[in-house]
Structure 1
Amino acid sequence: MKRVLPIILILFSITSGERVQAQFLLGQSSSNYAGVHGVYLNPATAADSRYKVQIHLAGFETYFYNNYLVWQAPYSPFQMMTNTVPSKYRGPNNGIIFRDQEYLREKLNGRDKHVRAGAEIRGSGVLFTINNKNAISINSRLRVGAAATNVSESVARLLKNGTVVSGRIEPEDFGAHLHANTNALVELSGTYARVLLDDEEEFIKVGITAKRLISLQQSHIHGQNINYQYITDPSVPNGAYVRLNNLSAQYGMTNEGAYSNASFSPAWLLGNASAGSGWGADLGFVYEYRPDVRKYSYREKGQMLKDNSKNKYLYRVSVSLLDIGRVSYKNPNYVEAYDLQRSGLILNESNFRQSPGLPGVMDGLNQTLRSSPEDQVSVYRTLLPTRLQASVDYLVKDKVYVNAMVIQGFVSNRNVNFTMPSLLAVTPRYEAKWFEVAVPFSLTDNYSRVAMGIGARAGILYVGSDNILPTFNIGNPKGMEFHFGLQIPIYRKPPESQLKCYPETEKRGIFGF
């Protein structure tokens, strides 16, 4: 067997990447003009926003990260993805020259490896301010990604290099492991947010988002207690077979009918005609301290009102619980999954060559592991990537803010779950009505990697990256991210006359009387 499990690696599309988490659009989501991006991070931000209406047209994000392969190519990952590699690194037919053994250096330190890659399409959506206390938002997005996590280093090398490689790592202990999955989910969501307290200096708002989730594709392989060894193949120089002495595995996939037959019919949306479906929710809370709120207050037609076109806080505290829920896979027309234990098997590459693509990989696993109807699982479930978001946003001076944010994930990546890594970020930004720029600094990828990004908003366009340095091939990249999109902002109007606002130093009682 020459290169056994690069085929399985292809299944999960993670040759140098990370998984679907959609990153966090750090340069956009903490702004007071974040609109629907802020709603994805905390549903409470929909209330008392600077928008009367915000229409999100379309947006796109892609990313990948890993702790195993270091990019050492003479061009950047961004250039490769956008097909802008210089001509001197192209072949006779203008194809990009990529020497994986030379351009991807393995980081070998004995620790478990992970790779993650993904993309998110943020579709049409709208945020609508009903009145001074209530707001709603309706949004759509497609979340796609792949991950391999908790992969023993010896297994990672087997996945990348196969068996024909000098210096391959022999497994030392019983108990090697591999956890990998892919997910593609359509999400339709509705958000309601309300102001609970508006008492001079103190301001509180809350929000909730309900989500309908429909699966277009899911695949997974989770191996535990893997005990294997290389057996020399005399017919291949430096070659070997892999003998599985023991293995506990759960694996499965949805077939191509799950996405080729997708439609927005009632049966599909209700889950009866899809491979998998489920429900999710976000909960959010925001507190603002407003010591100078009176300078934004004015009297109109006998009522005390506030200028809703302005930010009023010295600092803002945001807490939210995101992606509570799960997706169930039980449609027998689209789902095939197994849970089994095996010993004394040989992994044979020819098993994976009988049909192309994902069906070929599934057939290869079934033949190699000798699966039977008794091993088949009729229903399996994946948890959404539940996580806690907490942040503090501080006004440094007019239009200049600093945001500190932590996002901590809770869902285990040792099961068939949709997970997202944790991060810590500090983001200074300058924000104005029609223009904004932010520079996030973060400890991303479960606090293991330092990243610097940039985000900008100019009228209807937003663009940025949470990890900009790999774009310029700086620092031996292990990942990258970028995003862009279009929106139509309709801002809330200021008072007709600024003279209606009280001076900052004027002393008045509650509600300005």
Structure 2
Amino acid sequence: MIFKKAIKQTLSWLTISFFVLWGNQGISQEMFGVTLGNYNGLTGAIINPAIMTNTRNYLEINFLAADIFANNTMAYIPASDLTIWGALNPNTKFPVYGSKNNSFLIYNNRDKKSAIQNTRILGPSAMFQYGKHAFAITTGFRFFTSANNIPWEMPVFGYEGMDYGPVNNVNFDDYNIDVETQAWMEVGLSYAYEAYHFMDDQVTVGVTARKLWGYAGVYGQINNASYIIPNDSVLNILNLNGETAFSVPVDYSTNDFPVNDPVFKGSGIGFDVGVIYTKRRYVDDNRWEKPCGQEFKDYIYRIGLSVIDIGRIKYSHNAQVHSYDDVSAYWVNYDTISYSTVNDVVGEISNVFYGDPTASYRGNSFTIGLPTALSLQFDYHPLRLRDVYFGLVWIQPVRFNRHSLRRPAQISIVPRYETKYLEFSLPISLFEYRYPRVGFAARFAFLTIGTERIGTYLGLGDLNGLDIYFSIKLNIAKGSCKKVVPVKCLNYEYGYSDKDKARFRKRK
């Protein structure tokens, strides 16, 4: 593979190339249709592991769940020109814009830009509750990308080209830019415990520990960059302080792909911790004989607090770290240089800044943090609305350093209707505390499908990301003994079955 004009293409398309391909600006990041509700203990543990003892199921088996999500504030296709359904049709002719015949538009403002991409697959997993205790084992794959504080001029260069007059011969000063991406597999163990229960008050705590295997990881950060682009063949970099690191399944000397020695280039550990306070609707004595005889404890409201995705992955196989410390260069005819390998690219950049193709090299290991976040959840069950609930979720990203993935901030109100075999929810969200969104999710017995921006699929929103999730899961409800075994189960409250209680009432 030849990286012809690699530097020019990198500067032009780094902040554009993959964002438009995703579809619309979406926020299915938290999958509210499968993480909230009383039939979602296993998937609900994604947002707070303490939820596992507060659901209507005592046993859950997940076959497959997936979330595909992207969001960007750089490029889009107007809804009037193309819908998501048209974009998915291979015979669709995409619209063309501008003198460069681009198939998308860019947002014409000087705001800092950002982008998020998250693909999450939850594989075969299971949860089991036994009284005050609940346990779960999960398997999964995740691919996450975040780009933050992207300067407004970079999408302009990508869209108009490096010879665009209004941004040529302008001294740009940019700060605190970072881009991170990593793909990993994970296996997790979760535990929840009813730590306190007196009368109608209940406190549950939960924790998830996950072993992580990193398949690939890349980050780049620019602390500050001062530069001028006179034309499409000259880069005048006045000052640059930055760093990049990568560990991917590619032979950097030959570009052979994949390189699976070893398959996983890094490893790490991740944690989720959470606590939930529940105000029960009734006082009960928690008596049962078999796990299937456990009863769901209805509540007036519950409040949860959690910290999710604490941890990081360290890459030490096929890894390189390069640093550019207070460097400058006047690079002429950069667009005419051709490269054959990854090592050629990083070697040439090092040579331009330091006069030595190996001077930028700093080491062969690095870490990338998980998309850590603080989350607050509130759920209210009105007395007169038997199957209707109102939820509130707040997500705030927490970054310990700029080598960490950034989860988007959001606050969501989630009204829902739920029964054993049917559930609907309507998340109303404020994404990054700025962009309003309306979603929809539906569960039909074992199948859930949803999106956090339904307008995209109705042709009401511009095309600038993608957003959809689903879950296929077997739920075994509490109080279901009669459906499983041919013997009567003890009633949760008095030690008799509901049929026996009805018979006793008739005798009276």
AA in 2 matched with 1:41: I
Alignment equivalent of 1:250, drawn from 243, 249, 262: 243
Deviation of 1:354 after TM superposition, in Å, equals 2.4
Structure 2 residue 311 is the aligned partner of structure 1 residue 325:
yes
On the 8 A contact 1:19/1:146 being kept in 2, the answer is no
Secondary structure at the aligned position of 1:476 is classed as: coil
Structure 1 CA distance for aligned equivalents of residues 163 and 295 of structure 2: 65
Structure 2 residue 85 is the aligned partner of structure 1 residue 79:
yes
On the 8 A contact 2:115/2:146 being kept in 1, the answer is yes
1:158-195 deviation line (CA, Å, top 9, x unaligned): 24443033533654453455322221121211101111
Alignment equivalent of 1:408, drawn from 396, 406, 427: 396
AA in 2 matched with 1:349: D
Q: Kindly tell me: are residues 158 and 107 of structure 1, through their superposed partners in 2, closer, same or farther at Cα, counting changes over 3 Å?
A: same
Taking only the aligned residue pairs, the percentage that are identical comes to 20
* 2:141 alignment counterpart: 142
Deviation of 1:398 after TM superposition, in Å, equals 0.5
* 1:469 alignment counterpart: 455
Which range moves more in the overlay, 165-174 or 49-58? Answer: 165-174
On the 8 A contact 1:120/1:143 being kept in 2, the answer is yes
Instruction: Indicate the RMSD between aligned Cα atoms, in angstroms.
Output: 3.4
AA in 1 matched with 2:10: L
AA in 2 matched with 1:34: N
TM-score (norm 2): 0.82
AA in 1 matched with 2:50: A
Secondary structure at the aligned position of 2:43 is classed as: helix
| 1:14-163 alignment runs, 5 A limit | 14-15=19-20, 23-72=29-78, 74=80, 76=82, 78-79=84-85, 83-84=88-89, 89-90=92-93, 103-129=103-129, 131-163=130-162
1:287-338 deviation line (CA, Å, top 9, x unaligned): 11013345xx68778x9x997443410101111111111222223xx10120
Secondary structure at the aligned position of 1:23 is classed as: helix
1:386-412 deviation line (CA, Å, top 9, x unaligned): 211111100022010000110111116
1:105-142 deviation line (CA, Å, top 9, x unaligned): 2223322111222311111111112x211111111111
* 2:301 alignment counterpart: 315
Alignment equivalent of 1:336, drawn from 320, 343, 354: 320
Count of matched residue positions in the alignment of Structure 1 and Structure 2: 469
AA in 2 matched with 1:59: A
Q: Kindly tell me: are residues 108 and 74 of structure 1, through their superposed partners in 2, closer, same or farther at Cα, counting changes over 3 Å?
A: closer
Secondary structure at the aligned position of 1:44 is classed as: helix
1:12-50 deviation line (CA, Å, top 9, x unaligned): 833566999970001221111112210111111122432
Structure 2 CA distance for aligned equivalents of residues 11 and 153 of structure 1: 12
* 2:407 alignment counterpart: 420
* 1:433 alignment counterpart: 420
AA in 1 matched with 2:394: V
On the 8 A contact 2:329/2:353 being kept in 1, the answer is no
On the 8 A contact 1:16/1:69 being kept in 2, the answer is no
Q: Kindly tell me: are residues 98 and 471 of structure 1, through their superposed partners in 2, closer, same or farther at Cα, counting changes over 3 Å?
A: farther
On the 8 A contact 1:464/1:482 being kept in 2, the answer is yes
Secondary structure at the aligned position of 1:108 is classed as: coil
TM-score (norm 1): 0.81
Alignment equivalent of 1:398, drawn from 363, 373, 386: 386
Deviation of 1:250 after TM superposition, in Å, equals 0.5
On the 8 A contact 1:193/1:206 being kept in 2, the answer is yes
Q: Kindly tell me: are residues 28 and 173 of structure 1, through their superposed partners in 2, closer, same or farther at Cα, counting changes over 3 Å?
A: same
* 1:275 alignment counterpart: 265
Deviation of 1:498 after TM superposition, in Å, equals 2.4
Secondary structure at the aligned position of 2:167 is classed as: coil
* 1:93 alignment counterpart: none
1:367-421 deviation line (CA, Å, top 9, x unaligned): 6555644432323222222211111100022010000110111116x72211111
* 2:331 alignment counterpart: 346
* 2:254 alignment counterpart: none
Secondary structure at the aligned position of 1:40 is classed as: coil
Question: 5+ unaligned residues in a row in structure 1: which ranges?
Answer: 91-95, 233-238, 503-513
Alignment equivalent of 1:483, drawn from 462, 469, 489: 469
Question: 5+ unaligned residues in a row in structure 2: which ranges?
Answer: 252-256, 481-490, 503-508
Structure 1 CA distance for aligned equivalents of residues 440 and 299 of structure 2: 24
AA in 1 matched with 2:19: I
Which range moves more in the overlay, 115-124 or 364-373? Answer: 364-373
* 1:209 alignment counterpart: 208
Alignment equivalent of 1:452, drawn from 438, 442, 462: 438
AA in 1 matched with 2:126: V
Deviation of 1:346 after TM superposition, in Å, equals 1.7
Which range moves more in the overlay, 8-17 or 381-390? Answer: 8-17
Secondary structure at the aligned position of 2:166 is classed as: coil
On the 8 A contact 1:173/1:227 being kept in 2, the answer is yes
